[in-house]
Amino acid sequence: MTQDHQPSPSETPLALIGSHRLIPLLTIEDARLAVPLASTLVEAGLPVMEVALSTKAATHAMRDILREVPEAILAAGNVMTAFDLALAREMGVHFAISPGHSDALLKAAADNPETPFVPGIATPAELIRVLSAGFHVVKFFPAMAFGGPEAVRAMMAPFPHARFIPSGGTNEERLDDWLALPNVVAVGGAWLAPPDEIAKKDWAAIGKRARDMLARVKH
């Protein structure tokens, strides 16, 4: 592997995320809540969202969002296996995200580039592995447990072409620290749309938080 930047499977998710620097991680237990939740986030200015494939309602929820909220830029999250990636592709999501990676998952993603993929890493050794496979946009998870913004800052010099989406322990208190890093393309987290507020259908609170956080991003 050389240090020269080459086009990679990460180009599409990077373009999809674009200037949207916040990615709510949504855990949806009731598929009926998916459309009003996604609509709330889109109207607040946060169209990029990650729905975790960790609930029974997740696939139904994602299909409903894709059909009813076309402005949403939807990622299938918690992708663990080639089967999960195939499911994401079949649903037609915009891209897929994993909290980690495996050889089989990286190969499946490389063999099926029509579903752009963001693998997860926690250490420099793991980062080298996914960079070698052609993926330079990664989910840094669990972000705070593995060093927080300081860890990502330390990886700028040895990995100049890597781009990070920190998630796991992120919160609004350290949002500015993350966003100040040029190698962070977006910050993800369940705190942007907490599961208890989703369950209570508290769209007003979710929308207000989204607008407040977006204002900080644009400040």
Residue 3 resides in a domain: no
Residue 4 resides in a domain: no
Portion of the chain with pLDDT greater than 90, in percent: 90
Of 86, 24, 39, the C-alpha closest to 59 is 86
User: Concatenated DSSP letters for 46-102?
Assistant: --EEEEETTSTTHHHHHHHHHHH-TT-EEEEES--SHHHHHHHHHHT-SEEE-SS--
Only one residue has tokens 């990676």, namely 101
CA angle 117, 89, 64 (to 5 degrees): 110
* Residue 6: strand, helix, or coil: coil
pLDDT at 12: 83
pLDDT at 200: 97
- Is 68 catalytic? The answer is no
Q: Which one of the listed residues 29, 56, 139, 173 is annotated catalytic?
A: 139
* pLDDT single digits (tens) 164-213: 999 999 999 999 999 999 999 999 999 999 999 999 999 999 999 999 99
Q: Which one of the listed residues 29, 43, 50, 71 is annotated catalytic?
A: 50
Residue 104 resides in a domain: yes
Q: How far apart are CA 118 and CA 128, in angstroms?
A: 14
Domain that holds residue 139: 11-218
* Residue 3: strand, helix, or coil: coil
Residues 67-87 have a mean pLDDT of: 97
15 phi/psi in degrees, rounded to 5: -70, -40
Residues 126-136 have a mean pLDDT of: 96
pLDDT at 212: 96
Residue 6 resides in a domain: no
* The model's pTM: 0.93
pLDDT at 7: 46
* pLDDT single digits (tens) 2-47: 444 444 566 788 899 999 999 999 999 999 999 999 999 999 999 9
- Is 173 catalytic? The answer is no
120 phi/psi in degrees, rounded to 5: -100, 145
CATH number reported for the structural domain that contains residue 16 in this entry: 3.20.20.70
Number of Cβ within a 10 Å radius of residue 25: 22
Residue 5 resides in a domain: no
